[in-house]
Amino acid sequence: FWDFLILFFCLPVVIFNEITKKRLLGDLSCRILPFMEVSSLGVTTFSLCALGIDRFHAATSPQASARPIERCQSIVAKLAVIWVGSMTLAVPELLLWQLARDTSPVSGVVTEFCTMKPSSNLPESLYSLVLTYQNARMWWYFGCYFCLPILFTISCQLVTRRVSGPEKKSECRGSKHSQCERHLNCTIIGLTIIYGLCTTPENVCNIVVAYMSPDISKQTLDLLNLINQFFLFFKCSVTPVLLLCLCRSLGQAFMDCCCCCCQGCGPDSASSEGSADSKLKTEMSSSIFFDKPRESPPPLLALGTPC
């Protein structure tokens, strides 16, 4: 969902800025876009950490195959902690950026761009905190939003393999539960690889620019910033597709929802056939919970007869 927000709000603003050299929504976009992009990195980082912990608990539980399904309230609470924590860590981005204007000496066209410069109207204590964040921003990016999810995922996978051991793997190699666990582990590894590949250019550019900024022109910096943003958009586009392809249960549920929507928009005959099939499946699935076959329903009485 957060990837969808990035593509829906941030991508049009970036494209509009590149075409018209004007900032859509002005100073507000200079503050909101970095906030949403950094929050997206935080959501992905802490989600991968949470998934790694969940896989470790699944592998080390005494009755892994009989593990109860987690309640919806617990999942929503974890997501709320991840989202609130990510947005809280991204709050300094709202105070760090501001809109700036530059006039071209050749054409005289006024271009608008976002610059990383804290406002002087901030209180002194808050201004010093934002300035400290600006100085440590590069290494904070590299440590929290790049090293943490990759190292955490690798550590959880290695510890999980170590704890489960070869004997347990050989015992459960052919079971359905072990296949599901392997699919989930492959999903987490795939998400981590995509995240690492898409965030590596930005971290490399940040380190290079930090130590070679006097030798790099403004056009080159703008180009690098644009490339980094589109790597983020690429990550937000690929991650849901990869998740649906690797996680078979989620992909099947998504396809079922799409098929239901298509049948609902189709003709009445198709909808009636779909409803009949769904009714038949419901009856077959509900019959599983009964030890004896259900009795046939009583015949319908004719109209006008007493009950």
Q: Is 285 part of a structural domain of the chain? A: no
pLDDT at site 120: 78
- Reading the block at residue 168, the tokens are 């347990």
What is the average pLDDT value for the chain, to the nearest integer?
Answer: 76
Q: What's the CA angle centered on 191, arms 140 and 207, to 5 degrees?
A: 30
Q: Which of the four pLDDT bands, split at 50, 70 and 90, describes residue 43?
A: very high
Is 247 strand, coil or helix?
coil
Q: Is 235 part of a structural domain of the chain? A: yes
Q: Is 22 part of a structural domain of the chain? A: yes
pLDDT at site 126: 87
Containing structural domain, residue 107: 1-61+70-163+180-258
Report how far residue 98's alpha carbon sits from residue 85's, in angstroms, rounded to the nearest whole number.
24
Q: Which of the four pLDDT bands, split at 50, 70 and 90, describes residue 178?
A: low
Q: The CATH number of the domain where 106 resides is what? A: 1.20.1070.10
Find the mean pLDDT for residues 237-256.
79
Q: Is 125 part of a structural domain of the chain? A: yes
Asked whether the predicted pLDDT for residue 284 surpasses 50, the reply is no
Label each residue of 21-67 as H, E or C.
CCCCCCHHHHHHHHHHHHHHHHHHHHHHHHHHHHHHHHHHCCCCCCC
Asked whether the predicted pLDDT for residue 167 surpasses 60, the reply is no
Percent of the chain scored above 70 by pLDDT?
75
Q: Is 156 part of a structural domain of the chain? A: yes
Condensed to tens digits (0 to 9), the pLDDT of residues 103-128 reads 766 666 777 778 888 877 888 888 88
Q: Is 267 part of a structural domain of the chain? A: no
Number of domains observed in the structure of the chain: 1
Is 217 strand, coil or helix?
coil
Q: Which of the four pLDDT bands, split at 50, 70 and 90, describes residue 176?
A: low
